[in-house]
Structure 1
Amino acid sequence: MLEGNKIKIRPIEEDDIDIICQWLNDEEINYWSSGAWPLNTLYSKDQIMEKYLDGPSDVYRYAILNEKNLIIGTIGFKEVNVPGRSATLFIVIGDKSYWGKGYGTDAIITFVRFLFTQWNFHRISLDTWDENLRAIRAYEKVGFKIEGCQREARYVLGTYHDAVLMGLLRDEFLILHGK
């Protein structure tokens, strides 16, 4: 189990699936995490369980826990590039009562430290959409830099939005946050 200042990170367990289903069926959570409302609501509980517990071997998903060891979100990585020592990060704080209180930032710092020091990655990438300013600010606090955008790459509630591409190098992170 990884431990940050406010959070813990552990593998997702079967008992987590019910709450993850609730998050995937919440319009506001989907709006900010991916803009995929209502598409995510089309998954059955069995499909969500398969995706989160038995999903592709190249996608790694973990639970974010609060101080009382209750799940408040998920974090993970995908698109591992072994020669380039890089991967793509994703995170969702599904419990809205923890939004804007530093839990996401703590989870990202804790998890990225793990990816850089234990997985020996050189670079971590991520993307969000242009109106998700709260997420962009959190990523920038961790040290991610905006590297570009993909024009009109996200379709959110009937409108196209730019995808904001961000990246972080190991040395930059260690200067800001140490080992």
Structure 2
Amino acid sequence: MLKGPLCTVRHLLTADLNTFIALVNDLPSRGDHFSSHFKSPEQMRKEFLQTGFVTEDSELFVIEDRAHHIVGVITHFKSRTPICREIGYRLFDAALAGRGYVSEATRLLVDHLFRVYQYHRLELLTAPENIASVRVAEKCGFQPEGLLRQAFFINGHYCDVSVHSLLRPEWERLHAPLSMLARM
């Protein structure tokens, strides 16, 4: 469990499963940047029972507010190379946008991944017009790298994708002042 002042990032519990499935399958909350494909509740329950949504290839966490309500999801998963992981996130309620939940959850997960694993590079792929998601990447220290033209097919349209990355040395520089203060 990763705790910050605004939210907690934790694994999904059995008691959360019905609520989580309803939130994931709520089409209006997906906006323009997520696929409108439903996930089968039975298949999700089966996968949860088998893996808890944690495998070598991916790990799913819920984002929980201080009142213990699930407000979003954040995950990391296998990318193109073994030294890299991609991070994805989704806020379930647009009314909560701009409150810092996703930024804090992303920072917590980034810190965890670089402290616990030997990954050298983390990536965020966003729709270029998804200003909120691009802003999360920037606030968390990710650097823009470029555009993958028509790399995603979402809701019947090919979409461009912006690539942002954060390298371990960049993350270490961001945390150097904190580690220096801890030694004093």
Normalised to the residue count of structure 1, the TM-score between the two structures is 0.84
After the TM superposition, which residues 52-91 of structure 1 pair with which residues of structure 2 at under 5 Å, given as runs?
A: 52=48, 54=51, 55=53, 57=55, 58-79=57-78, 81-82=81-82, 84=83, 86-91=84-89
Quote the offset at 1:56 in angstroms. Answer: 6.8
Contact kept in structure 1, 2:10 and 2:62, CA below 8 Å: yes
Compared CA separation, residues 134 and 51, structure 1 to 2 (3 A): farther
Size of the aligned set, in residue pairs, is 173
Compared CA separation, residues 56 and 72, structure 1 to 2 (3 A): closer
Quote the offset at 1:91 in angstroms. Answer: 1.2
Compared CA separation, residues 6 and 163, structure 1 to 2 (3 A): same
Other-structure match for 1:176: 174
Counterpart amino acid of residue 112 in structure 1: V
Other-structure match for 1:3: 3
SS at match of 1:101: coil
**Alpha-carbon separation, structure 1, partners of 2:25 and 2:165:** 29
Gap runs ≥5 in structure 2? 180-184
The root-mean-square deviation of aligned C-alpha atoms, in Å, is 2.1
Contact kept in structure 2, 1:145 and 1:168, CA below 8 Å: yes
Selected match of 1:140 from 115, 138, 141? 138
Gap runs ≥5 in structure 1? none
SS at match of 1:74: strand
Contact kept in structure 2, 1:35 and 1:154, CA below 8 Å: no
Runs of 4+ in 1 over 6 A off after TM superposition: none
After the TM superposition, which residues 21-170 of structure 1 pair with which residues of structure 2 at under 5 Å, given as runs?
A: 21-32=21-32, 34-37=33-36, 39=37, 41=38, 43-52=39-48, 54=51, 55=53, 57=55, 58-79=57-78, 81-82=81-82, 84=83, 86-170=84-168
- My pick for the range that moved more, 45-54 or 102-111, is 45-54
Compared CA separation, residues 51 and 148, structure 1 to 2 (3 A): farther
**Alpha-carbon separation, structure 2, partners of 1:96 and 1:52:** 26
Counterpart amino acid of residue 122 in structure 2: I
Quote the offset at 1:142 in angstroms. Answer: 0.5
Quote the offset at 1:117 in angstroms. Answer: 0.8
Contact kept in structure 1, 2:54 and 2:60, CA below 8 Å: no
Contact kept in structure 2, 1:130 and 1:161, CA below 8 Å: no
Identity of aligned residues (%): 27
Contact kept in structure 1, 2:30 and 2:92, CA below 8 Å: no
Give per-residue Cα distances to partners, 1:72-91, cap 9 Å, x unaligned. Answer: 11112111644x2x211111
Contact kept in structure 2, 1:129 and 1:154, CA below 8 Å: no
Quote the offset at 1:51 in angstroms. Answer: 4.0
**Alpha-carbon separation, structure 1, partners of 2:70 and 2:59:** 17
Larger Rg: 2
